[in-house]
Each structure stands twice: as C-alpha cells, then as structure tokens.
Amino acid sequence: MKAIGVTREGDEPQLLDVERPEPSEGEALVRTLRVGVDGTDHEVIAGSHGGFPEGEDHMVLGHEAVGVVEDPNGTGMDPGQVVVPTVRRKPDGKTNEYFRRGEPDMAPEGEYVERGIVGGHGYMAEFFTSPADYLVPIDEDLAEYGLFVEPISITEKANEHAFATREPFEWRPESACVLGNGSLGLLTLWMLQQKFDRTYCVGRRDRPDPTIDIIDELGSTYVDSRQTTVDEIPDAHESIDYVYEATGFAPHVIETVHALAPNGVGALLGIPEPWDFEIDGGTLHNEIVLHNKCLIGTVNSHIKHFEYAVETLEDMPEWLLDDLITTVATPEDVAPAFDDDNDQIKAVVEFDSL
Ligand code: NAP
Ligand code: BGC
Ligand code: ZN
C-alpha cells in the first residue's frame, strides 16, 4: 500500500510501498481519509525531534489523522465509523504505570512511542491499525476536518493543566496571548477567544499575510515580535493572565514570565533545540515568586482531551477550518504538503474520502 515517510538516507518525505498492516487482537483496521502536517512533522523531517522505529530504515510520517473503520476485527467497533487515533503507544507492547492509568501523555521519554514522531510508524498510509481503545469516534459530517482533533486535543490538555494551577484561588482572567501564528497557535487563539475578553497573537510577519488575516477576522490583536517583545505589548507588561507559547522560540519563556500579570499562568508547548542565551535569573526568580506566577510545560494528550476536542471542533466556525487548510495533497504528489512557505497554514495529505 502507499505510504508517505522518511528514510535514513533521504531528507525529503517520499512515497513508499509498504505492507498493509494486519490488526492484532484488540486492534481495528482503519482506512485513512486525511492526515495533517504540523510544525512537529517538520522537526521530525529535519531530524531535530523524534526518531525512527528501532531496526527500521524508514518511518511512516503523520500523527494528525482521521479514518474510517474498515475491519473492526472483533473489537465491537462499527464498520464505517469515522475515527481519530491518539498518538502515544506502549513501547514494544510493554505496558507501564502511565498506560495502565490511562495517562500515557504523562509518561516520561522511553516509556512510550509516538506514532509518526518517536519510534513508531505514523498514519500517513492507506491503512493503519490501532487498539480500538485509542480510536475516538467522530460524526461523519466532521470527517473532512477530523485531522484537527489531535492538535485541538493538545490545547485541551494544556488549558486543563494551566487552569488547574489557578484553582486554589479566585482567578478572574481577562486577557490571553498566543505566541505563534502556526496552525496550533491559530486553533488555540479561537479556543481562548471563547474564554477571554482580550486576546493577542504574536508572529513575525509582514502584512498581507493569511495568518494575520485570520487573527484580524477573529477580532484579536496581532503583535509583530520583531518590533515588540511579548512583555512590551502595549498595556500588556505584567498584565496578561494567560500566555500560550507555540513558537519553539526559547527566549519566549523569559518574555512570558515578564508579560504575565500577577497570578497569571504561562503554558509552554514549543519544542526548541538547545539554545544558550543570557538572562537575568534573579529578576525572573523574584517575579515568579512575588507575583505568584506559574509556568507549565505540556506535551501530548489522551482520550479525554480528544473527546473534549471533538466537542470544540463541532463549535468551530467552518470559515476558520476552511481558511486553515491551505493545501490538500495526494500521496502521489505529496511535496506541496511539506512546502513550508508563509502561505501554508495546515497542509493535508488525502488518501481517500467517505
Ligand atoms: P508551526 O506551524 O511551525 O508554527 C510556529 C509558528 O511560530 C510559526 O508561525 C512561526 O512564524 C512562529 N514563530 C517562530 N518564532 C517566532 C518568533 N520569534 N516570534 C513570533 N513568531 C514566531 O508549528 P505548529 O504546528 O503551530 O506548532 C508550534 C510549536 O509547538 C512547534 O514547536 C511544535 O513542535 C510544538 N508542538 C508541541 C506540541 C506539544 O504537545 N507540546 C504539540 C504540537 C506542536 P513563521 O512561520 O513566520 O516563521
Ligand atoms: C504532537 C504530540 C506529541 C508532540 C511531541 C506534537 O506535534 O501533536 O502528540 O506528543 O508533538 O512529540
Ligand atoms: Zn502535532
């Protein structure tokens, strides 16, 4: 069957011919409809994040998938059910406490594989298999947008964890700032707009630009980080209640602390490479302590976050989802899906339709 992957020799994603997988006990066979591409896929292709499955000369890409159950294989799923797979799996089939508790998203490195990212083949193939427990059903009317469930689930988890840190007191947040105008940042911007009176989104581009058009359309304020650092946003110094970082630009960690209002919380999601730079650690430490500020790191998501994400996707306006999808490529001509130019927001590889 057709699959899109990277090989140890090549540096570009390519069309591969791989064997169609056979479902094991407890697994269903899924026919892939669409798979999205995000910043992490670009990091995997560049070799700065993730890694090949052990002993394999290639890795099938893709972790933002939607498909349809082809063969339930005795799992009780309905043939034809549209589903979205979660990303983390047990390493080598060995279980551990995180998987047993249903919290694989909290497992440390080495205690999981991530399909299409870390040590496991992804979903960019005509068919894939998955334990039925890790397939989240969605309505067939949402099938074309189902690839957004995984990235939305990432923000469901981040928000759950960030807001949980503010639960012990009466937190009345008004403003939020999203760092990054990639697909994760823009999906998150809409989600935060539902909760906050004022929102900002930070990028580093000139107008006209399709992501800034979306920021404007959402009624949010665009901030150009080349002119204004996060903590210098007018009226924002020590006044933003929630900062959501989705750039992978390491200095944003420090700027986040300075931009946060007293009692605010910052969620870090970007995955930067090592980067040395100077900071005033004393002021940073002081500000976090004296203003009850909180920084959290958050990665991945699991079933309940996918379920919340399905509800969120149902509420998202169709114009936004359509504007976010900038390329629909075929497996035979996949290169446009991996073009990383400024007109690209969410590229999709389409294997089949309902
Ligand atoms: P993306 O499409 O590459 O978006 C990153 C955005 O950040 C781009 O629009 C980029 O702008 C912008 N940016 C980078 N440096 C900036 C700076 N100094 N100032 C302003 N904007 C800046 O990636 P994505 O898919 O949205 O994901 C965002 C990050 O989150 C990535 O690092 C990804 O690996 C990570 N991620 C983490 C998780 C998790 O579970 N923690 C999940 C998904 C993604 P330009 O395009 O103009 O360069
Ligand atoms: C994926 C997550 C994954 C993370 C780190 C993200 O792009 O959406 O599921 O845990 O990368 O590899
Ligand atoms: Zn992702």
Average pLDDT score over residue span 256-275: 96
Mean model confidence pLDDT for the chain: 97
Q: Which of 225, 271, 325 to mutate to test the pocket of ligand 1 (most atoms within 8 A of CB)?
A: 271
Tens digits of residue pLDDT in 28-78:
999 999 999 999 999 999 999 999 999 999 999 999 999 999 999 999 999
Q: How confident is the model at residue 219 (pLDDT cuts 50, 70, 90)?
A: very high
**Confidence (pLDDT) at 232:** 87
188 lines ligand 1 (CB under 6 A): no
Q: Can you name the residues that pair with 322 across neighbouring β-strands? A: none
Predicted confidence (pLDDT) per residue in 129-139, tens digit: 999 999 999 99
- Which one of the ligands is nearest to 298 CA? 1
pLDDT of 235 over the 80 cut: no
Q: Is the pLDDT of residue 123 over 90?
A: yes
- Give me the pLDDT at residue 44, please: 97
Confidence of residue 231 (pLDDT cuts 50, 70, 90): confident
Q: What is the pLDDT of residue 10?
A: 85
**Span 15-23, mean pLDDT?**
98
Ligand 3 center from residue 151 Cα (angstroms): 6
205 within ligand 1 shell (Cβ under 6 A): yes
Q: Identify which ligand lies nearest to the alpha carbon of 39.
A: 1
Q: What percent of the chain has pLDDT over 70?
A: 99
Q: Is the pLDDT of residue 22 over 90?
A: yes
321-328 mean pLDDT: 98
Q: Comparing 25-29, 36-40, 234-238, 304-308, which segment has the lowest mean pLDDT? A: 234-238
Which domains are present in the chain? Answer: 2-137+317-350 (3.90.180.10), 154-297 (3.40.50.720)
User: Averaged over 182-197, what is the pLDDT?
Assistant: 98
Q: Ligand 2: residues whose CB is within 6 Å?
A: 38, 40, 63, 87, 114, 117-118, 150, 154, 299-300
pLDDT score for 268: 98
Question: Residue 300 CA: which ligand 1 atom is closest?
Answer: 40
Per-residue confidence (pLDDT) for residue 280, from 0 to 100: 97
With a cut of 90, say whether residue 239 has pLDDT above it: no
Residue closest to 296 by CA, chosen among 243, 238, 241: 243
pLDDT exceeds cutoff 70 at 240: yes
The rounded distance, in Å, linking the Cα atoms of 126 and 67 is: 9
Q: What pLDDT does 236 receive?
A: 63
Report how far residue 218's alpha carbon sits from residue 214's, in angstroms, rounded to the nearest whole number: 6
pLDDT band at 237 (very low <50, low <70, confident <90, very high): low
Residue 238 has pLDDT above 80, yes or no: no
Shortest-distance atom of ligand 1 to CA 180: 7
Residue position matching structure tokens 């079933």:
303
pLDDT (0 to 100) of residue 82: 98
